[in-house]
Chain A
């Protein structure tokens, strides 16, 4: 029987099987950020341990950092203490840090790929659930807790049960202005936020093969929102072109690259490979997706009304009612009728150069609505520099938007970028949980183009019709 992409990566990484049937899995890349690492480093100090493979460990500051001009001066003393702790820990333990002020700094899931740290066939972990992003390269990448961060620092391994496999096939060709964000939101709507639990998703099909690396990263990024352990896409020429098309300091070159390419080309799932579960989604005529509730599975086609409490598949009436109350919505309302206060374009889901290009194409020559605040936050300083070289920053500013420095920003509002209570936001991020973008804030997840159009219209629009009008 043939093997899946997942199986082809898993097997060579098993150091040994353990008596209880789990595996000791070798980890190729360990990404570290300031929020989930301090207690792990403290554990190392307490036990007098060292990092086993500092050269396989890479670190950045993203969650707490301000994104304004004066960002080098972190005014919140507690945020500053956390950022300073990471600096100290990286110095003490010999870990490479892309810190604030470094032009390679950015959201951990944006800089990994752009620096060539993320490569096909690797196992990649980080104390962050959106580590699933890196699966877009045909890597096995997943989020871990802080105790596991410490475990990887000390042993370069993790104890893992073998997950199940789940193939999601996106057939057809989505129409213009329909992105991988819409595809993956549709999927989460179908599967629910626990539908992928215990599984590694592999995305395939014509609609996935034709996605850029940025589009694939958006898709894999959201795997965790379906509860999946990881999401992955088989590497192909799009992947290899991304890795070799420009200088990526940690990617192999020359002979090492040739050898790697031969291996990478052997990774895609065999035609007769078996998956534990499968799902097929037709993307022909897929409408733009918008979330209406307080988790990413509470999502509708943009032209459909918000459901009634007794009529939302997979959710109890009381959960729907409490979500609608929190969101300030009534059953039957169309999201295209509800005014917005804020539009956020950013996060590890949608802050890469292609996302910004798509948003800029909509905003070019247009202005945001007066009552809307528009925040554009590039995922990394590299993205920021490239966007500026392409003149995208001028488009955002001319449209009335704020052009920021790299960081997680309003995706979770650990820094000063937060929604106020009851502010309504169209956001390109990944979580519409209660309070996620600021206590009492109301989040509608959308694609970058939908977010840009919403900023102009002052409310969510069906981009397909809006552009025609």
Chain B
């Protein structure tokens, strides 16, 4: 897996909450048995008109976002289906970082990304950053004000800097295991196989129908 250390790129916005993985990659592309070739199909139903031409009205098709690699969106991105194809499609379409806000709702903090989607990003070298709603609102404003706005995400430092005329930087949190996996491009299976002896020992004494015996 490609390690993720520092990434600088153009920032694009998608002003929609609850973007589900069916929208990120529709079902007809799930018939492939390959892991590649999904990039051009990302956001297919929004990105293209029924006749197959580019939908100029879709935000991410705007010429100002040409060459973008950082996606800023709204809360609960990647909800719904577990399909890892959604992350493959985003990565293969050139996104390395996706940013979404957590949301305070009646005293609870709802995460910016759906659980399974977020797990899938880590396994594919993509960095998912959660910021507060206010900070993400600011980022939307910055992107609207500055065509070609770029940002630099530094995973080791857990910081993202937006290179606006008056630059803004935000610190973010990330789970230690996910950070290490991304920084080193680690394969989880190799990691777990280090514990092969533990698994064997566990299996030798284990009865799933009476595990406390």
Q: Which residues of A contact B (CB under 8 A)?
A: 12-13, 15-16, 18, 20-22, 24, 26, 28, 35-36, 38-39, 42, 47, 49, 52, 63-64, 76, 78-79, 81-82, 85, 119, 121-122, 127-129, 143-148, 150-151, 154-157, 159, 161, 192-195, 197-198, 224-225, 227, 229, 252, 256, 259-260, 262-263, 266, 277, 295, 297, 314-316, 318-319, 322, 412-414, 421, 431, 433-436, 439
Which A residues are CB-close (under 8 A) to B82?
36, 127-129, 143-145
- Residue contacts A-B, CB under 8 angstroms, 7 given: A39-B35, A47-B189, A144-B82, A146-B84, A161-B177, A194-B110, A229-B115
A24–B75 CB distance below 8 A: no
B209–A260 CB distance below 8 A: yes
B105–A12 CB distance below 8 A: no
Tell me, in angstroms, the Cα distance from A192 to B87 when the chains sit together: 23
Residue in B30, B80, B189, B213 whose beta carbon sits within 8 Å of that of A154 in the complex = B189
Known: A39-B33, A229-B115. A147 touches B199 (CB 8 A): no
Tell me, in angstroms, the Cα distance from A63 to B81 when the chains sit together: 13
A319–B208 CB distance below 8 A: no
Which of B21-29, B142-150, B153-161, B164-172 touches A? Answer: B21-29
CB-based nearest A residue for B45: A435
CB-based nearest B residue for A78: B31
Tell me, in angstroms, the Cα distance from A151 to B206 when the chains sit together: 20
Which A residues are CB-close (under 8 A) to B188?
147, 151, 159
- Give the 9 A-B residue pairs with the shortest CB-CB distance, closest first: A38-B33, A12-B211, A20-B177, A145-B84, A260-B209, A147-B123, A194-B76, A145-B120, A143-B82
Which B residues are CB-close (under 8 A) to A129?
80-82, 116
Residue in A13, A150, A194, A434 whose beta carbon sits within 8 Å of that of B103 in the complex = A194
Which of B3-11, B12-20, B62-70 touches A? Answer: B12-20
CB-based nearest B residue for A22: B177
B17–A319 CB distance below 8 A: yes
Give the most central of A145, A154, A192, A224: most B CB within 10 Å. A145
B180 within 8 Å of A by Cβ? yes
Give the most central of B26, B32, B209, B210: most A CB within 10 Å. B209
Known: A144-B116, A314-B105. A24 touches B195 (CB 8 A): yes
Give the most central of B15, B23, B31, B196: most A CB within 10 Å. B31
Tell me, in angstroms, the Cα distance from A266 to B202 when the chains sit together: 22
Closest-CB distance, B35 to chain A (whole angstroms): 5
Tell me, in angstroms, the Cα distance from A256 to B208 when the chains sit together: 11
B80–A433 CB distance below 8 A: yes
Closest-CB distance, B78 to chain A (whole angstroms): 10
Q: Which residues of B contact A (CB under 8 A)?
A: 15-18, 20, 22-23, 26-28, 30-35, 45, 50, 74-76, 79-85, 87, 103, 105, 108, 110-111, 114-116, 119-120, 123-124, 175-177, 180, 188-189, 191-193, 195-196, 198-199, 202-203, 206, 208-213
Which B residues are CB-close (under 8 A) to A144?
82, 116, 119
Known: A15-B202, A82-B31, A319-B17. A194 touches B23 (CB 8 A): no
A319–B18 CB distance below 8 A: yes
Closest-CB distance, A8 to chain B (whole angstroms): 9
A145–B116 CB distance below 8 A: yes
Which A residues are CB-close (under 8 A) to B123?
145, 147-148
Which A residues are CB-close (under 8 A) to B196?
155
A412–B119 CB distance below 8 A: no
Closest-CB distance, B171 to chain A (whole angstroms): 20
A295–B119 CB distance below 8 A: no
B193–A26 CB distance below 8 A: no
A431–B119 CB distance below 8 A: no
Tell me, in angstroms, the Cα distance from A195 to B109 when the chains sit together: 9
Tell me, in angstroms, the Cα distance from A35 to B23 when the chains sit together: 17
Tell me, in angstroms, the Cα distance from A82 to B26 when the chains sit together: 16
Closest-CB distance, A347 to chain B (whole angstroms): 13
Tell me, in angstroms, the Cα distance from A461 to B21 when the chains sit together: 31
Known: A24-B192, A154-B189. A193 touches B120 (CB 8 A): no
B20–A18 CB distance below 8 A: no
Give the most central of B33, B111, B211: most A CB within 10 Å. B33
Tell me, in angstroms, the Cα distance from A453 to B171 when the chains sit together: 54
CB-based nearest B residue for A163: B115
B209–A20 CB distance below 8 A: no
Tell me, in angstroms, the Cα distance from A259 to B196 when the chains sit together: 29
Which A residues are CB-close (under 8 A) to B34?
38-39, 42
B35–A42 CB distance below 8 A: yes
Tell me, in angstroms, the Cα distance from A434 to B44 when the chains sit together: 12
Tell me, in angstroms, the Cα distance from A38 to B17 when the chains sit together: 31
A195–B16 CB distance below 8 A: no
Which B residues are CB-close (under 8 A) to A24?
192, 195, 198-199
B110–A192 CB distance below 8 A: yes
Closest-CB distance, B3 to chain A (whole angstroms): 16
B84–A227 CB distance below 8 A: no
Tell me, in angstroms, the Cα distance from A193 to B23 when the chains sit together: 15
Tell me, in angstroms, the Cα distance from A85 to B175 when the chains sit together: 36
Which B residues are CB-close (under 8 A) to A414?
27-28, 30-31
Tell me, in angstroms, the Cα distance from A427 to B105 when the chains sit together: 29
Residue in A79, A122, A148, A433 whose beta carbon sits within 8 Å of that of B20 in the complex = A433
CB-based nearest B residue for A251: B209
Residue in A81, A128, A262, A413 whose beta carbon sits within 8 Å of that of B27 in the complex = A413
Known: A129-B116, A295-B20. A198 touches B33 (CB 8 A): no
A26–B210 CB distance below 8 A: no
Give the most central of B84, B115, B176, B180: most A CB within 10 Å. B115
Which B residues are CB-close (under 8 A) to A277?
108
B208–A121 CB distance below 8 A: yes
CB-based nearest B residue for A436: B22
Tell me, in angstroms, the Cα distance from A276 to B81 when the chains sit together: 26
Closest-CB distance, B95 to chain A (whole angstroms): 17
CB-based nearest B residue for A229: B115
Residue in A16, A42, A252, A412 whose beta carbon sits within 8 Å of that of B198 in the complex = A16
Tell me, in angstroms, the Cα distance from A236 to B208 when the chains sit together: 18
CB-based nearest A residue for B22: A433
A78–B189 CB distance below 8 A: no
